[in-house]
């Protein structure tokens, strides 16, 4: 086993293996944040084989304004690096396994009520009201109304996450079979279907885009 291998050097080597796994930028960033925070907590950059489970427990308990789910993510990241370090013969065992993992809170997801969805649909074509000097309350029509309608209906039909929606491309939409192709967590692709009404809204939005492109 390699002795006295500094924690920061271990992080550098581990992150190279993380990059090689082609994880999402967001996931890689979260790994870097966790490992950096633990390094700051250790303060003096000790050899990784001298770090103790008690130090890990103290690190996890030092956070008072984060959820247990976040702390569980910290635990998972540290365990993953120690598992890698065992394979690289930098430590004898994965000490994180001896640290009890936080139990995330169970939160009930409250879906939008039908009236909520109707209210959002009715507001897609107009801006919020605003004041103009010397005039009554005003609003104006939105050029993005077709896009907004397609987005809202697609989210209602498929339950897309915001990040998945933002990464969606035109070629990911199968208009013929009313499906979209989404790359979710863990690089797992899924293809949720959407309704005919949503398909019409998407078609109208794409038609609008094509029309604007021809004008240019």
Beta strands in 81-183 (DSSP E): 173-174, 179-180, 182-183
Query: Which positions ≥6 away from 31 have C-beta within 8 Å?
Result: 15, 18, 23, 77, 80
For the chain, the residue count is 216
Domain 7-98 = CATH 3.40.50.2020 = no
Amino acid 25: pLDDT: 86
Contact 3/42 with Cβ under 8 angstroms? no
Inter-axis angle of helices 53-61 and 68-87, nearest 10 = 160
24-80 tens-digit pLDDT: 888 899 999 999 999 999 989 999 999 999 999 999 999 988 899 999 999 999 999
Domain 114-215 = CATH 1.10.443.10 = yes
Q: What percent of the chain has pLDDT over 90?
A: 53
92-110 tens-digit pLDDT: 999 999 999 988 777 777 7
Residue range(s) in the chain whose domain bears CATH number 1.10.443.10 = 114-215
The answer to whether residue 87 scores a pLDDT higher than 80 is: yes
Phi, psi angles (nearest 5°) of residue 130: -145, 165
Residue range(s) in the chain whose domain bears CATH number 1.10.150.130 = 7-98
Contact 1/92 with Cβ under 8 angstroms? yes
Indicate the pTM of the whole model: 0.59
Is beta strand 173-174 parallel, antiparallel or unpaired with respect to 189-190? Answer: unpaired
Q: What percent of the chain has pLDDT over 70?
A: 93
């Amino acid at each position: 086993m390699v002795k006295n291998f500094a924690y920061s050097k271990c992080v550098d080597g581990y992150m190279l293996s993380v990059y090689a796994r082609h994880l999402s930028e967001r996931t890689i960033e979260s790994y870097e944040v966790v490992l950096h925070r633990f390094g700051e907590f250790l303060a003096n950059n000790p050899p990784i084989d001298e770090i103790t489970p008690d130090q890990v427990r103290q690190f996890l308990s030092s956070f008072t304004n984060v959820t247990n789910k976040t702390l569980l993510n910290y635990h998972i990241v540290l365990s993953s690096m120690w598992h890698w370090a065992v394979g690289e013969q930098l430590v004898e065992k994965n000490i994180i396994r001896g640290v009890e993992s936080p139990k995330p809170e169970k939160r009930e997801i409250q879906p939008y009520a039908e009236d909520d969805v109707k209210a959002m649909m009715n507001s897609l074509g107009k801006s919020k009201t605003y004041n103009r000097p010397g005039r009554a309350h005003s609003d104006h029509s939105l050029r993005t109304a077709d896009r907004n309608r397609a987005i809202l209906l697609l989210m209602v039909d498929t339950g897309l996450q915001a990040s998945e929606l933002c990464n969606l491309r035109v070629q990911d939409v199968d208009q013929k079979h009313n499906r979209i192709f989404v790359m979710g967590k863990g690089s797992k692709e899924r293809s949720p279907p959407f309704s005919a009404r949503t398909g019409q809204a998407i078609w109208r939005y794409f038609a609008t885009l094509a029309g604007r492109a021809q004008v240019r």
